[in-house]
């Protein structure tokens, strides 16, 4: 009998890669989606005949209870959140309601309906914020510096509380930055690769960015969803840092991206103070020793390979758009 998984955020970058991975493992996959007048299923368009979409909303406990009663999942992957940091400053209440309280509602629905289900929370390195130790590991204190980080920290600790108080198999993966050709346009990595493609095709001449010195630990989403799955196959529920252990600056990302299109970034990039964060997070670097040691997880795609893949995908997209063709690129 096939195992059943429920994914919140199935239409996002991670949800699409996780769906593919679970289908390859023989799972029956269900995805929680909000009702919308304009459904956005681009990232999972190639999977719609193989997954089941379930209407529900993280703001509505009753709808979550109904979905879990209907699906009876063995595993729940909670990926949905308002996770774009600049928007969290513009909409801190919405961010808290969705990311923090949405997790509380989902955990409560699991406790009430299917307490034997295994629960994964997609946490975030943004919880470390003003870092109190480098590299960051599971025991590094959290010091969030954005509404997103604060909401994720609430969700993280609540997941631990539900495990310890109600004996749920509930775990939190502390995900460092992970990208792909399916990354949202609002994120700086995708802004860069799409900007490169538009400049290469003559549609733009410059790319405006914020702090080029900011450093992040970047990996590929396809690698990170595999780590999520491994966490739910483990004997015990626990917290794991998921990251590459390498730090790269935004400038390094920019340089590789422009080189992939045979361009010199210095001729096109303009640093614009408008894109600086109110409270900048300077250096984030994961210490993935625990997940490598206990779960045997290793990333398979390098930083350079990630950047080049994203640029090539956006070059193809922009070229198709310029000729009036519709092209969906799946990595």
Enter the DSSP assignment of 283.
B
pLDDT of res. 323:
46
In this predicted model, what pLDDT tens digit does every residue of 80-91 receive, in sequence order? 987 666 677 778
In this predicted model, what pLDDT tens digit does every residue of 88-105 receive, in sequence order? 777 889 899 999 999 999
Q: Give the least confident one: 101-115, 204-218, 266-280.
A: 266-280
180: nearest Cα among 11, 315, 14: 14
Cis amide leading into 135 (omega within 30): yes
Read off the pLDDT band of 330 (50, 70, 90). Answer: very low
In this predicted model, what pLDDT tens digit does every residue of 10-25 receive, in sequence order? 999 999 999 999 999 9
Asked if residues 8 and 107 have their Cβ atoms less than 8 Å apart, the reply is no
> How large is the average pLDDT for residues 201-224?
94
Q: Give the least confident one: 226-240, 255-269, 308-322.
A: 308-322
Percent of the chain with pLDDT over 90: 81
- Compute the mean pLDDT over every residue in the chain, rounded to the nearest whole number: 92
234: left (phi over 0), alpha (psi -120 to 50) or beta: beta
Q: Rounded CA gap, 22 and 5, in Å?
A: 8
In this predicted model, what pLDDT tens digit does every residue of 168-196 receive, in sequence order? 999 999 999 999 999 988 889 999 999 99
**Alpha helical stretches, state H, the chain:** 13-24, 61-71, 85-90, 92-95, 102-113, 147-166, 188-200, 221-233, 250-260, 289-295, 303-322
In this predicted model, what pLDDT tens digit does every residue of 46-67 receive, in sequence order? 999 999 999 999 999 999 999 9
List phi, psi (to 5°) of 261: -110, 15
Q: Is the pLDDT of residue 128 over 80?
A: yes
Q: Rounded CA gap, 288 and 330, in Å?
A: 28
**CA-CA distances (angstroms) from residue 156 to 48, 146, 306?**
31, 15, 28
pLDDT of res. 284:
87
Q: Is the pLDDT of residue 329 over 50?
A: no
| Residue 155: exposure state from Cβ atoms within 10 A (0-12, 13-18, ≥19) | buried
């Amino acid at each position: 009998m096939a195992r059943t998984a429920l994914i919140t955020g199935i239409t996002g970058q991670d949800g699409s890669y996780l769906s593919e991975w679970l289908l390859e493992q023989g799972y029956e996959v269900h995805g929680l989606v909000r009702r919308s007048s304009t459904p956005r299923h681009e990232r999972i368009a190639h999977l719609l005949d193989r997954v089941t979409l379930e209407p529900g909303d993280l703001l509505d406990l009753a709808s979550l209870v109904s979905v879990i009663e209907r699906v009876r999942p063995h595993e729940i992957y909670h990926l949905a959140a308002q996770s774009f940091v600049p928007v969290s400053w513009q909409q801190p209440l919405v961010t808290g309601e969705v990311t923090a309280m949405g997790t509380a509602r989902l955990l409560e629905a699991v406790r009430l309906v299917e307490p034997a289900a295994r629960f994964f929370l997609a946490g975030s390195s943004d919880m470390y914020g003003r870092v109190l130790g480098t590299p960051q590991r599971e025991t590094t204190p959290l010091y969030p510096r954005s509404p997103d980080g604060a909401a994720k920290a609430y969700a993280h600790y609540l997941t631990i509380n539900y495990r310890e108080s109600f004996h749920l198999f509930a775990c939190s993966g502390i995900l460092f930055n992970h990208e792909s050709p399916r990354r949202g346009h609002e994120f700086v990595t995708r802004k860069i690769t799409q900007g490169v493609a538009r400049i290469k095709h003559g549609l733009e001449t410059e790319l405006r960015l914020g702090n080029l010195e900011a450093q992040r630990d970047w990996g590929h989403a396809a690698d990170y969803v595999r780590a999520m799955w491994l966490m739910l196959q483990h004997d015990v529920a626990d917290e794991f840092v998921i990251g590459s252990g390498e730090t790269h600056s935004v400038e390094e990302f920019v340089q590789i991206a422009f080189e992939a299109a045979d361009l010199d970034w210095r001729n096109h990039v303009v640093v614009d103070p408008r894109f600086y964060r109110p409270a900048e997070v300077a250096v984030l670097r994961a210490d993935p020793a625990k997940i490598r040691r206990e779960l045997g997880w290793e990333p398979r795609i390098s930083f350079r390979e990630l950047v080049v893949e994203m640029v090539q995908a956006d070059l193809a997209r922009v070229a198709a758009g310029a000729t009036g063709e519709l092209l969906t690129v799946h990595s």
